Amino acid sequence: MNNIRILTSTSLFDGHDASINIMRRVLQEKGVEIIHFGHNRSAKEIVAAAIEEDVQGIAITSYQGGHIEFFTYVRKLLNEAGYQHIKIVGGGGGTILPKEAAYLEKIGISKIYLPEDGLKLGIEGMIDQVIQFCDYTLKDFSQKKLPKLSFSKKIDPRQISRAITLLQNKSTTKKSTQKTKKNIPIIGLTGTGGAGKSTLCDRLIQYFLLANPSKTIAIISVDPSKRKTGGALLGDRIRMNAIDHPNVFMRSLATRSDNNTIAHSMDAVIELLIEAGYNAIIIETSGVGQNDATIIDYVSIPIYVMTPEFGAPTQLEKINMIDYAKIIAINKFDRAGGLDAVRDVCKQYRRSHHIWENQKKSLPVFGTIASHFSDPGMQAMYNALADIVYQTHKINWNLLPWEPKYHENEVTAPTIPNKRNNYLAEIVATIQKNNQWIEEQKNIASKWYCFQEVLKEPSLKEDKKILKANQLIEQSIDKEVKQLIIDWPAKSAAYKKPFLEIDQKGKKLKQALSFETPSGTVIQKIQVPSFKDWGDIVQWHLKENLPGYFPYTAGVFKFKKGNEDPTRMFAGEGCPERTNARFHFLSKGQDAIRLSTAFDSVTLYGHDPEKRLDVYGKIGNAGVNVATIDDAKKLYSGIDLNSPSTSVSMTINGPAPILMAQFFNTAIDQACEKYITANKLWPSVRKKMKLLFKGATPPEYFNVNKSLNFKDWHNGLGLQLLGVSGDQVLEPTVYNKIKQEVLNNVRGTLQADILKEDQAQNTCIFSTDFALKMMGDVQAYFAENKVKHFYSISISGYHIAEAGANPITQLAFTLANGFTYVEYFMNRGLAIDDFLPNLSFFFSNGMDPEYAVIGRVARRIWANTMKYKYHANERSQKLKYHIQTSGRSLHAQEIDFNDIRTTLQALYAIYDQCNSLHTNAYDEAITTPTEESVRRALAIQLIINKELGTTKVENFQQGSFLITELTDLVEEAVMQEFERINNRGGVLGAMERMYQRTKIQEESLHYETKKHTGEIPIIGVNSFVQPQAKNNADQQAIFRSSSTEQNTQISNLASFQKRNKKLSASYLKKLQNTALLNENIFTVLMEAVKYCSLGEISNTLYQVGGKYSRNL
């Protein structure tokens, strides 16, 4: 077998990297060198990387639609570069139809793997086929005239990359007789594995390009080969954001030998790069040990990267690189012991270089946090490197245009203070202590009950010993517990009556407590236990209780709303007008409008629609495209966002604050329209609008529902101020009053869970610390403006489950993330009861038994933690959550069976008292759902809620031996997971070690393997398979966004940007300044979205907050 190199990646705006990670692991095990590029990569990025890495193959997964355009564009760019030889393989589960796969294979894609290929070949068989495609020899093409590259590179990388390949493969005997005499800095980055060398390298390149925009730089990154297989994971490129630049070349090399940190051909590779004309070279080694200083033989400026966890100070005496390094970076400086590490390394550096304490010389030792976009330590280190370049080579590198605010005795304040790092362990201790106390109170109450029963006997009621013992037992019981026992008979009796009088916002209302079946049986809606023993009663109260009572195990509300089922349907496709029509279809005839918005991947990644093919194909596919406030207004038009019976959820994370600002402004402008109508102000308002448009064509709503008269299904609300903002046509005092009223009353949910995105879903777009800062800004804005009815975060386990986690891991990770937000917001200075009502949760349901109790376990853990650890009020103790049936359980094979699985999962959710529920459409395995499939999905909920008799009982699960046992078992398993996360430094520390991501991938592989072997039966897929069944995906009605809608979105965006050109520039500048001054970004976003597009805002914030740095 040749030395095979394959680049693995997902497509643009696609975070579904579970399957590509499984594939690249198996490829590595079979001896392939993998350049893993991670998720969300553009066609140009993939092709540029493939050329520089000189791979034989590219493996891409695409689950977010637009696959025809994406694969076509990658093939086109490769062919235009003269790289027709590179093989492309891909897959996308059921989202790529067989006929689409056939088309792609016809135009030059080697293979698109479909679900049936997985069943026939298995993972191993598919991988063997990929290796066969890519097992060919790369030959010298130095004499070949190559076509011009279609993308910009200052130095053409093609001949260089092939020459490096030939050197590595020992296919060339050409060697320089003497070294090139060009004087350029060759910088060596070496250090322990996991020290963050790649991220630090990325920051150096970022600052180098910022300060020296005309200079070029080449990076050679080395990773070890596996001795057993010869395979290698070349994963450094995934961490590099700054290399997507015309002035940068990067090549990843495997050592292809044991015990080496440098590739065997490094000398010759450096010579090639010098001859090519690069102004600087960085060599990054694989992880090294204490005695390794090999790098100094190849470079002029060695840099040693380490972390504070080096052990005792005496260990520093063993590190050879301290003697040779011209700069030492103590990365991850914010970890415990960072300041001590700098002090100890400085002392050792002085000893090694004979610099005595009384010599006031600044030492090249820097505490850095390379993962932070604007880390002062990294900035100071770059400036020091520029000085050393001049001292060593007499070459001028410009310094950064600002003075870094670095001090070796100061550490940037961490997101969670070090003294609070054990918050999860404290929660575990709180829950365990409470459970122990419950057991004690149960035993005391049971004894007291026994004494009371004994004292009923006439012959014993005067017995002094028994009376004394009874008195002691009674005195030992907790006062509140004693009151529970005393109150229980009356409380129990009250729930057995036909009606219960309840107080609702000061009004006395009668709540029906029973219902009659068609057979005439009268059944109570709330079933109460028939316990006699007070110990059982106490335990039940403290661990279960009635719905609406602490610890809310049975539900956070005493009764369900009779006129509002928990239905919340997810919709999004094409242009805003198309999804708006779907929203009207879903809400027709519903007493309460509860909608959930699915955005297309272009929007999810904060990008504007454009003609470029890999972007164009994604516009409006698998969700709705929303780039501007005009789009948001169209999307929710005709739906009164300010009605108390309307609630809108938005499933978006990376750019979530921007979309929420659009939504709030949409709701505000709807209220402005109502005010204008009520006060008959339209004639004057339209005159103002005409002046504002200055002759430009105002934006229009495009009616996609041609079969119906527009006015028959749409009232026009939200469209009359299209193109302008309410504050441009109303007096400031009037507008501000309307704005405040809307913020106080508007209902809805924003997902905005950036921790989960980093762990599982991968729609992060900003650096994690900056994304968390914006979340904190949103929450501060909510507290300041008394936004009480809108959930600013929907802490999500759904996407953790979809990425492969089992139900216990989903629940544990999600709750741990929730508690992390609590700690972060408290660290921001927010009062706990000011923000907890704005937090909600979002779980997936599946077929496993643990899913039956996921809600009740979450409610109990949350309530006990908030009451006993954080001392939050009653409202804050109530966890509310949304359930979506499992997308993972939807299969392209026997597609009609999906509704059966969805029905069972919905039943789990409704029995467990979820606060809202989305049932997936059966055809979502292959397409955005059709009206027919959505109607069936909605019918599942309606049939369960309206027809199934047992769902009229509102605590159906209580009293079940299985449910009680399962609740305790899952709670205990969650506590164990909390301890594991805590031992890794809490959620953020575990994320840095990639604990969550790794565990999810392992559980995903475990499930997929068992599914493939049939140990986990999937009816119609791996068992009960219909003989000679054809994949019926090709026969299904599928949705693909039309070119008309895609082009309309692009032209609408252009009109919006042209209309707001002057104002947008000033607001984008204001956004940057606000971020740099660490002020509240969301306050400015509320104004900026009126004039700036989503992409414009994202690109502006990247410059001050940084892009997300991907993980393996």
Q: Is residue 930 predicted with pLDDT exceeding 90?
A: no
* Cβ atoms of residues 543 and 551 within 8 Å: yes
pLDDT at 535 over 60: yes
CATH of the domain at 312: 3.40.50.300
571, 636 in Cβ contact below 8 A? no
Residue count (the chain): 1112
Model confidence band, residue 1030 (pLDDT cutoffs 50, 70, 90): low
- One-letter amino acid identity for 951? T
Calpha distance 179→300 (Å, rounded): 14
Amino acid present at 276 = A
- Taken in order 943, 946, 949, 953, is the CA torsion positive or negative? positive
The answer on 1088 and 1061 residing in a single domain is: yes
Q: Which helix (DSSP H) or strand (DSSP E) does residue 305 occupy?
A: strand 301-306
- Answer whether residue 1065 is part of any domain: yes
pLDDT at 1032: 59
Q: Residue type for 187, please? A: I
Q: Which helix (H) or strand (E) holds 614?
A: helix 613-616
- Residue 51: give the domain boundaries: 1-179
Question: Could you tell me what percentage of the chain is helix, strand and coil, using 3-state DSSP and rounding each to the nearest 5?
Answer: 50, 10, 40
Integer Cα distance of 55 and 520 in angstroms: 74
CA-atom Rg of the chain in angstroms: 32
User: Are residues 430 and 292 part of one domain?
Assistant: no
Average pLDDT rounded to a whole number, residues 1033-1059: 87
> Is the same domain home to 138 and 35?
yes
* H/E stretch holding 331: strand 327-331
What ranges in 325-422 are assigned the alpha helix state H?
A: 338-353, 376-393
Other Cβ atoms less than 10 A from the Cβ of 960: the count is 14
CB 235 within 8 A of CB 199: no
Cα separation, 230 vs 28, in Å, equals 8
Question: What is the pTM assigned to this prediction?
Answer: 0.93
Question: Is residue 335 domain-shared with residue 196, that is, in the same domain?
Answer: yes
Q: At what angle do helices 961-982 and 854-868 cross, to 10 degrees?
A: 60
Least confident of 120-134, 166-180, 400-414, 746-760: 166-180
Q: Is residue 138 located within the same domain as residue 187?
A: no
Residue 670 located in a structural domain = no
438 three-state secondary structure: helix
Is 1017 among the domain residues?
no
Q: Is residue 10 part of a domain?
A: yes
Whether pLDDT at 416 is above 60: yes
Q: What is the average pLDDT score of the chain?
A: 93
- pLDDT for residue 176 is more than 70: no
Which residues in 866-902 are b (16+ Cβ under 10 Å) and which e?
bbbbbebeeebbbbbbbbbbbbbbbbbbbbebbbebb
DSSP result, 62-119: --SS-HHHHHHHHHHHHHHTT-TT-EEEEE-GGGS-HHHHHHHHHTT-SEEE-HHHHH
User: How many CA atoms are closer than 13 Å to the CA of 29, on its beta-carbon side?
Assistant: 10
167 shares a domain with 186: no
Report the C-alpha gap between 518 and 689 in whole angstroms. 60
277: left (phi over 0), alpha (psi -120 to 50) or beta: left
Range in 119-123, 411-415, 495-499, 892-896 the model is least confident about: 411-415
**Residue 162 within a domain:** yes
Which of these, 924, 1112, 961, lies nearest to 1036 by C-alpha position? Answer: 924
Question: In this predicted model, what pLDDT tens digit does every residue of 763-813 receive, in sequence order?
Answer: 999 999 999 999 999 999 999 999 999 999 999 999 999 989 999 999 999
> Average of pLDDT values for 708-735?
94
- State how far the alpha carbon of 30 is from the alpha carbons of 230, 541, 948, in Å: 8, 57, 53
Which pLDDT value is given to residue 652?
96
The pLDDT of residue 418 is: 83
Q: Is residue 356 part of a domain?
A: yes
Whole-number Å distance between alpha carbons of 233 and 458: 82
By the 10 Å C-beta count (0-12 exposed, 13-18 middle, 19+ buried), 505 is classed as exposed
In the block, tokens 């009815």 appear at 789
Alpha helices (H) in 284-337, listed in sequence order: 321-324
Is 137 part of a structural domain of the chain? yes
Assign 3-class secondary structure to 829-867: CCCHHHHHHHEEEEEEECCCHHHHHHHHHHHHHHHHHHH
Say whether both 15 and 139 belong to one domain. Answer: yes
Task: Work out the average pLDDT over 440-450.
Answer: 97
Tell me how many degrees the CA angle 269-273-276 measures, rounded to the nearest 5.
Answer: 140
* Residue 210 and residue 85 share a domain: no
Whether residue 210 sits in one domain with residue 105: no
> What is the 3-state secondary structure of 483-528?
HHHHHHHHHHHHCCCCEEEEEECCEEEEEECEEECCCCCEEECCCC
Residue 717 Cα distances to 581, 642, 697, 713, 1017, angstroms: 14, 11, 20, 12, 50
Q: Alpha carbon 834 to chain centroid distance? A: 25
- pLDDT tier for residue 507 given thresholds of 50, 70 and 90: confident
Give the span between the Cα atoms of 722 and 700, in whole angstroms: 8
Domain count, the chain: 4
d(CA 18, CA 1003): 10
Question: Sheet harboring 593-598: ordered strands across?
Answer: 569-571, 593-598, 646-651, 748-750, 790-791
Q: Are residues 205 and 318 in the same domain?
A: yes
Q: How far is CA 400 from CA 208, 245, 371, 1047, 1072, in A?
A: 8, 19, 19, 42, 18
**What's the first-to-final CA gap in the chain, in angstroms?**
27
Q: How confident is the model at residue 588 (pLDDT cuts 50, 70, 90)?
A: confident
Name the residue among 320, 297, 486, 431 with its Cα closest to residue 976. 431
Do 175 and 108 share a structural domain?
A: yes
Indicate if the pLDDT at residue 589 is higher than 90.
Answer: no
From residue 578, how far is each of 66, 926, 930 by CA, in Å? 18, 19, 12
Query: How many CA atoms are closer than 13 Å to the CA of 109, on its beta-carbon side?
Result: 24
**Alpha-carbon distance 650 to 794, whole Å?**
9
Confidence class for position 118, pLDDT limits 50, 70, 90: confident
Q: Which of 52, 118, 120 is nearest to 86 (CA)?
A: 52
**What is the pairing mode between strands 881-885 and 916-918?**
parallel
- Among the three residues 385, 412, 439, which one is the final residue of a domain in this structure? 412
DSSP of 244-265? -STTEEEEEEE--STT-SS-TT
The answer to whether 675 touches 730, Cβ cutoff 8 Å, is yes
For 821, the 3-state DSSP assignment is helix
pLDDT tens across 449-502, in order? 999 999 999 988 888 999 999 999 999 999 999 999 999 999 999 999 999 988
pLDDT at residue 495 in the model: 96
Domain boundary among 361, 387, 412: 412
For residue 794, is it within any domain?
Answer: no
Q: Which of 540, 564, 582 is the last residue of a domain?
A: 540
- pLDDT of 1028 strictly over 70: no
CA distance 955 to 526: 6
Range 232-236 average pLDDT: 95
**Dihedral sign (CA 526, 527, 532, 534):** negative
Within this chain, do residues 429 and 357 fall inside the same structural domain, yes or no? no
| pLDDT tens by residue, 36-75 | 999 999 999 999 999 999 999 999 999 989 999 999 999 9
CATH assignment of the domain containing 169: 3.40.50.280
pLDDT at 723 over 80: yes
Nearest to 220 by CA among 191, 194, 253, 193: 253
Q: Which residue, chain included where needed, has tokens 């914010």? A: 334
C-alpha–C-alpha distance, residues 969 and 1083, integer Å: 45
Cβ partners under 8 Å of residue 84, min gap 6: 78, 108
Query: 177 falls in which pLDDT band (50, 70, 90)?
Result: very low
- Name beta bridge partners: 511: 500
